[in-house]
Structure 1
Amino acid sequence: MQLFASGRDQLLRFWHHGRHQLPMADALRGGVICVAPAVLAVTLHMPLLCWSAIAAFWTCLADEPGRPGFERHCKGLVFGVAGALASACAIAAHSLPVLSIAVVGAVAYAGASVRARGPASGLRGLLTATACSVSACFPAHGIDAATRYAGFYLVGSVWATLAGGSLWQAGRTKRAQQATLAYLHAMSLLVNRLGYAAQGNRARLEQGRAELRTKLDAMTAAIANCCGDAPSACTRWVDDAEQAIALLAGLETLLAGGHDAARREAASLLAPGYVQLALQIDASAAHLRDGPGALPSVVEQRLARVQQTLRACEPAWLSTHGPGEGLTWLRANLDLLERLAVLLARDVRMHAARVVAAGARGAPPERPRPGRLTARIAELAARNAYARYAARLSVAAMLAVTFARLSGLQQGYWLALTTMFILQPTLSQTVKVSGLRIGGTLLGAVLATALSFPVHDPLLLALVVLPLATGTLAARAVSYFSYILFLTSHFILVAHLGTPAGAPWALAIARAELSVAGVLVGFVVSLFAWPDRERHRLGSSAARALEGTAAYLDAVARRLAQPVPRGGETLGKLRRRACLDIDTLEATIGATRFESLVVDQQVACASVLMQRLRTLVGALCPLEYVDAMLDDTERARLSGLAQRAHAWLTHDACSGDLLQHPREDSGPEASSCHAREIEREVSESACVAHLLRSRVLR
């Protein structure tokens, strides 16, 4: 019942606040572009136009609406030409099975190798390889057929490229607002998860701040693309983002460390405060969404409720308990919660000069452009993760096409289509995507069948593609499962219009069966073809996480010892790097556990090490913004503590008594309470990390 209530609350929250972040204008434009060839296919009785509809959809899928128009047109035309040539080569060599399968393998390897240039280029390369694999499964061969299929594919891609740049466009300001709303929605969800953790559901803490950092990068990039024209209501969230994330990290660390009975009881008093804080964030999102017509007093009212709820926590504790560790822990949480609530309710700043500066500060680092041809060839030939993934995808594509052609089914290309999309660089990622793919495919098949039963007119059935294509493009921002749900229904109806050899429900059943077969092919290839085991990366991932955390500890120690920064990387950048390294270590541990059939001591030690490193960063990062409230004695103690923790993370053995207990005096100041909690968390975590360091890095 609690799980059902939680799911219902999340759905309602998404409907009221999360749906506004969806790029509906871009999705609707893509839906219109995709449905036009399907309608023409029915009207002109030209089934091959459905292949143009697929090409148009893939072009819309690979498009980057936020980029300049000329760049989008160039990339779209290159993508269309590459897909047309790949499709033509596969069909032209169809009569020679060995040659056709070799062409598929070569195109798949080249398409997967492009992933090294970034996710957008990787998607275009994968879609081009998929077009080649699907074409190799078509019951067509010869130069004439290759020319016709390539021509229709190119027409669909060119149509999508030109129409995508000429039809209505969402302005840069609108994109910045949507990205900001997505960031606020992610923050609201994180605060809600912390509220559930305060109520005792500690499993919620496993969903950390990675998604929030991703939304922050997207928001920063969208605001930077506005070239100084972004609304100040959006830029102020970029200005305050690092401070908000630091305070949230401190709260998450405090909740994770509250294991004893006193802290658990104190945490239950904080749960209503988290609920009110999430509502305050939602009110800020509504204020941003409504613009000038919004009532700013709503945010202030929510802030007043948060502060009122937080002020009632300490008297409620003292009415049944006396001073002690529970009260100290409660005060530390209350301090961070109130600071976060005040930060999130600050008045909108109207200084336009800060827009460009904020975008320049927080913009994610751009991926370096590839070098000359010789350097590129050397990179592809090197034994790296991208080369292994490319080789694995090449083998999987050739096997999928072989099985699809041996089956003799007219819809056998779905087997190759599924294999191309579910195969990931690692086995654990392949299995995760495969499960989502199967579930989404089954529900999508049911949806397509339900839509096709009341609609018998082919033209009306083609028009049904519009909401499905729109939903597919919009659902990418929600989840992979919802994306596959719409995608399956979309492809089933388009395939039925292109090859009306049976009822849509029969196509749905065939799609489900062939999708399962494609998943099996991808799983077997991931398991046996140059398996990219995560356990081989465990030591290097742990070393990077230790190095990043140690660098951050050293910077914090220097900051506390000397308030004026000494140049170099800022604390925010060092914290971000440390958090990303720890997230990478966590992903490596999860994949290694999945790959191993027995419990491994190194993996268990790495898991504890990862949690302790996250605690170290989370405990100290609020000091980036609240250190001014500390007195000189506390600053000196915390600076020395950070220096000793840095030494314990960077040396196998060192001297010094790190496990000294924090002072026992119980001053009434919330800042003193927070400092004592930091000492406790850092002392314990640094000691445990030091003991596990040599075991993980062996």
Structure 2
Amino acid sequence: MQLFASGRDQLLRFWHHGRHRLPVADALRGGVICVAPAVLAAMLHMPLLCWSAIAAFWTCLADEPGRPGFERHCKGLVFGVAGALASACAIAAHALPVLSIAVVGAVAYVGASVRARGPASGLRGLLTATACSVSACFPAHGLDAATHYAVFYLIGCVWATLAGGGLWQTSRTKRAQQATLAYLYAMSSLASRLGQAAHGNRAQLEHGRAELRTKLDAMTVAVANCNGDAPSACAGWVHDAEQAMALLAGLETLLAGGHDAARREAAALLAPAYGQLAAQIDASATRLRNGSSAFRGAVEQCQARLQQTLRACEPAWLATHGSAEGLTWLRANLDLVERLSVLLAREARMDAAPGIVAAPLAAPRKRPRQGQLTALIAEFAAQNAYTRYAARLSVAAMIAVSLARFSGMQQAYWLALTTMFILQPTLSQTVKVSGLRIGGTLLGAVLASALSLFVHDPLLLALIVLPLATGTLAARTVSYVSYILFLTSHFILVAHLGTPVGTPWALAVARIEFSAAGVLVGFLVSLFAWPDREHHRLGSSAAGAIEGTAAYLEAVAGRLAQPAPREPEALRKLRRRACLEIDKLEATIAATRFESLVVNQQAACASVLMQRLKTLVGALCPLEYVNAMLNDADLARLAELAQNAQALITSDASSADIPPSRGFGATPQASSCHAREIEREVSESACVAHLLRSRVLR
């Protein structure tokens, strides 16, 4: 019942606050583009137009709406020509199975290798390879069939490219607002999770701040692309984002360190405050969305309720516990929550924040034309993670096409389609995506079958593609399962219109069967073909996390020791670097758990080390903004503390060259409650990291 209530609350909260961050206009434009060829296929009884509908959808999927129009058109046309040629080659060689499969393998290798040029290029390369693999499974052969399929594929891509730039466009200002709303929703979600953790659900702390950092980067880019025309509120959120991140990191660290009974009871008193903090952020998002005059005073009212709750926490604690252990921890939390609340409600950000002008982008450095082809061939042949992934994808594509051709069924192209999408650069990623895809496929097959059960008119079925295609493009930013749910329903209906052989129920069952076979092919290839295991990277990932954390600790010590404040930009960059390195270590540990069937002692030690490094950064980063409230003695103690922690985590447990630490192991004597909690957290975490370092970096 509690799980059901939690899921219901999350859905309601997403509906009220989260849906506004979705690119609905872009998704609806893509849905209209995708439904047009499907409607024509139903009206003109031309099944090949469904291949154009698929090509149009893939073009919309690979489009980058935020980029300049000329660049989008060029990339869309190149993508269409490449997909048409790859599809034509696969169908033309259909009579010679060995040649057709070899073509699929070559196109898959090249398409996967393009991933080294960036995620957008990688998606286009993967979709081009998928078009080739799917075409090789079609029951068509000969030059005439190859020409027809290539022409219809190119028509779909050209239509999507031209319509994507010619239909309604979302302004840069609107994109900046959507990116800011996405950031606010992620921040309020983090505050809500902190409230659940304060209630005792410590598993909520495992989500971390990685998603919030991603949204912050997207917001910064979107606001900068406005060239100074971004709304003042959006620019203000960018201006205050790093400070909000630092305060949230400090709060998360304090909650994660509150293991004893006294701190757990104090956390229960703070739980309502986190819920009210999330409500204040949601009120700010509503104000940003509807204008400052629409909900005047809503943010201030939320802040007033939060301040009232914070003022009642300490008297409630003193009434039951007195000045027992836990009061210092409670005061440290109250201080950070109050500062964060004041920061988030600052009127200057909402109405009078200065615009952020994007710096002019440097012109891309042109490569010399001489030897460009040679360099490209050398890039494809280089020995790196991307080429190993390309080799695995090539092998998997050839196996999937061979099995599809061997089965002789018209719907066997689902096998190749699934294999191409679930195979990832590492085994752990493949396993994760495979499970999500099977779940989304089952739900999508049920949805498509239910729709076809009540709708028998082909034209009406084609029109239903509009909400499904729109949902597919919009759900990409929500979750992979919801994305696959809409994608499966969309593809099943389009396939039924293109090859109206059998009932949609039969199509759905075939989709599930061949998807399961495709998942199996992808998993076996990832397991046995040049496996790229993550546990080999544990040592290097841990070394990077330690190095990044040590650099940040050294910078914090230098900043606290300086009598005059310095420009904090360098410190923020070091903090961001440390956080990204810790996130990389965390991802490597999670991947190692997928790969290992037994307990991995190194991974277990790395997990504890990662948590301690995260604590070191989270405990000290609020000092970037609240050190003005500390006296000189506390600043000197914390500067020495950070310096000693840096020395500890960069030396092995057997090293005798560790500087003496006045703060480690001693009773805290700092006057500030927050400074005392920082001493406790940093001292303990640095010592544990020092002991685990040699075990992880072996």
TM-score class, shorter: over 0.9
Contact persistence 2:469–2:487 (CA under 8 A): yes
1:639/1:664 Cα in 2 relative to 1: closer, same or farther (>3 Å)? Answer: closer
Change (3 A) 1:495 1:284: same
Number of the residue aligned with 2:658 = 655
Alpha-carbon offset, residue 373 of structure 1: 4.4
Distance 1:566 1:305 in 2: 36
1:642 aligned onto 2:642: yes
Residues 1:100 and 1:635: Cα distance change in structure 2 (over 3 Å): same
* Partner-residue secondary structure (3-state), 1:132: helix
Structure 2 vs 1, CA of residues 291 and 368 (structure 1 numbering), >3 Å: closer, same or farther?
Answer: farther
2:115 corresponding residue in structure 1: 115
Instruction: Quote how far apart the aligned CAs of 1:567 are.
Output: 7.0
State percent identity of aligned pairs.
81
Residue identity opposite 1:55 in structure 2: A
Asked whether the 8 Å contact 2:277–2:306 carries over to 1, the reply is: yes
Asked if residue 319 in structure 1 is aligned to residue 319 in structure 2, the reply is yes
CA distance in 2, matches of 1:568, 1:331: 26
2: CA distance between counterparts of 1:506 and 1:367?
Answer: 52
Counterpart in the other structure of 1:682? 682
Q: Take 2:328 and 2:648, find their aligned partners in 1: how far apart are those partners?
A: 27
Correspondence list, 1:29-48, <5 A: 29-48=29-48
2:16 is aligned with 1:16: yes
Aligned residue type for 1:269: L
Give the superposition deviation at 1:647. Answer: 1.1
How many angstroms does 1:656 deviate by? 3.1
d(CA) in 1 for partners of 2:252, 2:292: 35
Residue number in structure 2 paired with 1:285: 285
Measured in 1, the distance between the counterparts of 2:366 and 2:129 equals 22
Residue 184 of structure 1 aligns to which amino acid in structure 2?
A: L
1:445 and 2:448 aligned: no
**Quick check: 2:235–2:353 contact (8 Å CA) kept in 1?**
no
Q: 2:481 aligns to what?
A: 481
Distance in 1 between residues matched to 2:373 and 2:633, nearest whole Å = 59
1:202-281 equivalent positions in 2, closer than 5 A: 202-281=202-281
Give the partner amino acid of 1:656.
P
1:186 counterpart SS class: helix
Distance 1:335 1:292, change over 3 A: closer
Superposition deviation, residue 228 in structure 1: 1.1
- Residue 423 of structure 2 is matched in structure 1 by 423
Q: Deviations over 1:341-364 (max 9, x none)?
A: 11111114489894235x559x9x
Paired positions, count: 691
Contact 2:668 2:680 in 1 (8 A): no
Q: Is the 8 A contact 1:230 1:355 kept in 2?
A: yes
SS in structure 2 at match of 1:320: helix
Partners of 2:267 and 2:214 lie apart in 1 by 28
Q: Secondary structure at the match of 1:517?
A: helix
Question: Distance between the aligned counterparts of 1:663 and 1:296, measured in 2?
Answer: 49
**Secondary structure of residue in 2 paired with 1:258:** coil
Alignment-mate amino acid for residue 272 of structure 1: P
Structure 2: distance between partners of 1:686 and 1:379: 42
* Structure-1 residue corresponding to 2:541: 541
Q: Matched residues in 2 for 1:528 and 1:242: separation?
A: 44
Give 2:390's aligned residue: 390
Q: Distance in 2 between matches of 1:594 and 1:127?
A: 27
- CA displacement 1:261-293 (0-9 Å, x = unmatched): 000000000000001001001100000010154
2:3 corresponds to: 3
* Cα displacement (A) at 1:570: 1.1
1:644, distance to aligned residue in structure 2 (A): 0.8
Aligned amino acid, residue 660 of structure 1: F
Task: For 1:563 and 1:447, locate their aligned partners in 2 and report how far apart those are by CA, in whole Å.
Answer: 65
CA-to-aligned-CA distance 1:407-443 (integer Å, 9 cap, x gap): 1110110000000001111111111111110111111
1:149 maps onto 2:176 in alignment: no
Q: Please say if residues 266 and 317 of structure 1, whose CA atoms lie closer than 8 Å, have aligned partners that are also in contact.
A: yes
Give 3-state SS (helix, strand or coil) of 1:197's partner: helix
**Contact (CA 8 Å) 2:236, 2:353: kept in 1 or not?**
no
Question: Structure 1: which 5+ runs fail to align?
Answer: none
Could you say which residue in structure 2 is the equivalent of 1:93?
Answer: 93
Distance 2:277 2:353 in 1: 30
1:189 maps to 2:189? yes
8 Å CA contact retained: 1:228, 1:352: no
Deviation at 1:83, TM superposition (A): 0.5
Task: Tell me if structure 1 keeps the 8 A contact 2:35–2:466.
Answer: yes
Separation in 2 of the partners of 1:163 and 1:577? 41
Please tell me whether the aligned partners of residues 550 and 650 of structure 2 are also in contact (alpha carbons under 8 angstroms). yes
Distance (whole Å) between structure 2 residues aligned to residue 52 and residue 116 of structure 1: 28
Question: Alpha carbons of 1:431 and 1:349: their partners in 2 closer, same or farther (altered >3 Å)?
Answer: same
Q: Which residue of 2 aligns with 1:412?
A: 412
Matched residue of 1:453: which SS?
helix
3-state SS of 1:94 partner? coil
Query: How do 1:298-317 and structure 2 match up within 5 A?
Result: 298-317=298-317
Deviation at 1:199, TM superposition (A): 0.5
Q: Deviations over 1:180-229 (max 9, x none)?
A: 11111111111010000000000000000000011111111111111111
| Offset from partner CA, 1:355-378 (integer Å, 9 cap, x none) | 235x559x9x99999885444433
CA contact 2:41–2:50 (8 Å) conserved in 1: yes
The C-alpha deviation readout for 1:319-345, integer Å capped at 9, x for no partner, is: 011224300000000000000111111
Q: Supply the distance in 2 between the matched residues of 1:298 and 1:336 (Cα, whole angstroms).
A: 22
CA drift at 1:660: 2.4
Q: Secondary structure at the match of 2:355?
A: helix
CA spacing shift, 1:482–1:68, aligned 2, 3 Å:
same
Q: Distance in 2 between matches of 1:514 and 1:549?
A: 47
Assess if the C-alpha contact under 8 Å between 1:91 and 1:135 holds in 2: yes
Q: 1:367 to 1:2 in 2, by over 3 A?
A: farther
Take 2:364 and 2:567, find their aligned partners in 1: how far apart are those partners? 24
2:347 is paired with a residue of what secondary structure? coil
Q: What letter corresponds to residue 7 of structure 1 in structure 2?
A: G
CA distance in 1, matches of 2:350, 2:219: 18
* Residue 623 (structure 2) aligns with: 623
- Supply the distance in 2 between the matched residues of 1:516 and 1:541 (Cα, whole angstroms): 33
Counterpart CA distance in 2 for 1:369 and 1:639 is 47
Cα distance, 1:168–1:480 mapped onto 2, change above 3 Å = same
How far, CA to CA, are the matches of 1:166 and 1:155 in structure 2? Answer: 16
Spell out, residue by residue over 1:113-154, the C-alpha distance to the aligned partner (whole angstroms, 9 max, x if none).
111111111111110000000000000111111111000000
User: 1:382 Cα deviation (Å)?
Assistant: 2.5
- Paired position in structure 1 for 2:612: 612
Q: How far apart in 2 are the matches of 1:644 and 1:187?
A: 33
Match of 1:526 in 2: 526
| Residues 142 and 218 of structure 1: CA distance in aligned 2, closer, same or farther (over 3 Å) | same
TM-score by length of 1: 0.96
Task: Give the aligned CA root-mean-square deviation in angstroms.
Answer: 1.9
Secondary structure of 1:425's counterpart equals coil
Mapping 1:581-592, distance limit 5 Å: 581-592=581-592
Cα deviation 1:14-38 (Å, max 9, x = unaligned): 0000001111111111111000001
Kept in 1: contact 2:634–2:670 (CA 8 A): no
CA distance in 2, matches of 1:613, 1:440: 36
Distance in 1, Cα, partners of 2:658 & 2:292: 61
Partner of 2:174: 174
Q: Which residue in 1 is equivalent to 2:126?
A: 126
Q: How far apart, in 2, do the equivalents of 1:211 and 1:366 lie?
A: 31
1:200, 1:264 within 8 Å by CA — same for their partners in 2? yes
- Helix, strand or coil at the partner of 2:291: helix
Question: Within the alignment, does 1:458 sit opposite 2:462 as a pair?
Answer: no
